[in-house]
Amino acid sequence: MGKTETKAQGPFVEVKAALQGFLGEFNEFQAELKTKLTEQEKRINMLDRKTIASARPALSTAADIDLPHKKAFSAYLRSGDDDALRGLPLEGKALSTSVSADGGYLVDPQTAEQITSVLRGASSIRAIANVVQVESTAYDVLVDHTDIGAGWADETSATTETGTPQIDRISIALHELSALPKASQRLLDDSAFDVEGWLAGRIADKFSRAESLSFITGDGVDKPTGFLTHPAVDDASWSWGNLGYVATGAAGDFAAVDQADAIVDLVYALNAQYRANGTFVMNSKTAGAVRKMKDVDGRFLWSDGLAAGEPARLMGYPVLIAEDMPDIAPDAMAIAFGDFGAGYTVAERPDLRILRDPFSAKPHVLFYATKRVGGDVSDFAAIKLLKFAVS
C-alpha cells in the first residue's frame, strides 16, 4: 500500500517542481521586463524634453540688445524724451555710440537696416557699385596700373631688370547727406502711428533720390562725384583719368543703318576681364528706344527678366534703369556699360543719426536725419560710354 502511494505521488511532485521552476522563470522575466520598460520610459521622457527644448523659439540676443534702444528711440521721436538714450549702451553693434542731443541720436539698428535695404534695392548705381563702410572721413582706393614685369631667362644669359608697377591713389571724400521730414505732434501722440516705419520710409526715399543723381552727375562739391562728371574721350585714345566712349554715328540718334552695331561696339570696347560682370545703365526713355532693336536675323537684342525681380537683359547683360541718366540727345552720353563693381566705389559711414526739432515748424515736429556718404570712379578702364554723336 505504501509503495503504491509513493508511486502515485511521484508524478505530482515532478509537476509541482516543474510549475515552481516555471513560475520562478516567469517572475524573473517579469522583473526583467519591468526594468526594461522603466529604462525605456526614462529614455522617452528625456527625448520629449529635448524635443520640447528644440521646439522653443531661440532667444535672439540681437533682439534683446536692440529692444531697449528701440523703445528709447521711439520715446525720443514721439515726445523728445532722451533720458533713456543718454545712458544706453549698444555693445558690439555697428550703431554702438550715441551722440548728444545737439547732434541728434543714432537710429535703432532695425530702422537703419530698413533704410539700407531700401537704398540697395533702389534703381541706383549703388545697386551695382562697390559699397564699403568706413569710420574715417575719406576712403582711399589704391590702383595698380601696370603689372610686375616678367621675362624669359636661361642658365647662361644675364637677367634684365623687369618693369615696376605704378600705384595710383584715389581718395573718396565723405559728404553729409541730410533729409528733413516733418510730422504733427498730434500724429506722433497717436500710439497706432508707426513713427519709426514712417520715418525710415521718408528718409530712405529722400536719400535714394539724392544719391542716385550724385552717383551719375555729381560734381564732387559737398556731394559724391558722378561717373559722367569725368572727362570722356574717344575710346581709341583712352587714357587713365578719362572714360572712353563709342560714338553711334549720328547726332542725337542711332545710325540710320545697322543701329545695333553701336551697342555691340560698346560691349566689346570693354576689356574681357570687366565684360564678364558688365551691366548696362540707361533711363526709361533710352530703354524704350533700345528694346526695339533687332539683330540681322530679326531677333530682339532686349529680353525681359524671366523671374520676378530679375533685371532685363541687353545682349545677355543685365540692364539697370537709372532715371538720372541723360536722355538721347546730340552728344549725350545716354548709355553706360561696364563692371561698376570695379569701376565705381560708394563709401559711407554705417551710422545714421536723427535730431528732433519741435520748435522750428510748430505745430509740426521736424526730424533732421544725416548720414555721410561719398562716391567716385575707382577704375577708369571698367566703364565705357555710348555717345550719341557722329564721332
Task: State how far the Cα of 241 lies from the Cα of 232, in Å rounded to an integer.
Answer: 9
- In the chain, domain spans: 65-146+173-223+352-374, 227-346+378-387
The confidence score (pLDDT) of residue 2 equals 52
pLDDT value for 164: 61
State how far the Cα of 260 lies from the Cα of 302, in Å rounded to an integer: 11
Q: Is the pLDDT of residue 320 over 60?
A: yes
End-to-end CA distance of the chain: 143
Q: Does 141 have pLDDT greater than 80?
A: yes
Q: Above 50 in pLDDT, residue 59?
A: no
How far is 340 from 337, CA to CA, in rounded Å? 8
Averaged over 284-293, what is the pLDDT?
93
Mean pLDDT of 253-266: 91
- In this structure, the chain runs to a length of 391
Q: Is the pLDDT of residue 222 over 80?
A: yes
Asked whether the predicted pLDDT for residue 169 surpasses 60, the reply is: yes
Own/partner long-range contacts of 287-291 (Cβ < 8 Å, ≥24 apart): 287/312, 287/319, 287/321, 289/254, 289/328, 290/263, 290/314, 290/335
Number of CB atoms found within 10 A of residue 71's CB: 13
Q: Which of these ranges, 41-50, 69-78, 261-270, 309-318, has the smallest mean pLDDT?
A: 41-50
CATH of 227-346+378-387, one of 3.30.450, 3.40.50, 3.30.43, 3.30.2320: 3.30.2320
> What is the SS3 assignment for 164?
coil
Give yes or no for a contact between 325 and 334, defined as CB atoms under 8 angstroms apart.
yes
Minimum mean pLDDT range among 143-157, 244-258, 353-367, 370-384: 143-157
pTM of the model: 0.71
Query: In this predicted model, what pLDDT tens digit does every residue of 227-258 receive, in sequence order?
Result: 999 999 999 999 999 999 999 999 999 998 88
Beta strands in 207-316 (DSSP E): 232-234, 243-247, 249-250, 253-254, 279-282, 302-303, 313-314
Q: Is the pLDDT of residue 379 over 90?
A: yes
Residue 349 and residue 134 in contact, taking contact as beta carbons nearer than 8 Å: yes
Task: Determine the average pLDDT of the residues in 218-226.
Answer: 94
Separation between Cα atoms, residue 345 and residue 385, nearest integer Å: 18
User: Measuring CA to CA, which residue among 375, 390, 386 is closest to residue 171?
Assistant: 375
Most confident by average pLDDT, 36-50, 101-115, 374-388: 374-388
Percent of the chain residues past pLDDT 90, beyond the cut: 37
**Contact between residue 216 and residue 228 where contact means Cβ atoms under 8 Å apart:** yes
Which cell numbers in the block locate residue 279? 551691366
The share of the chain scoring above pLDDT 70, in percent, equals: 70
pLDDT reported for residue 225: 96
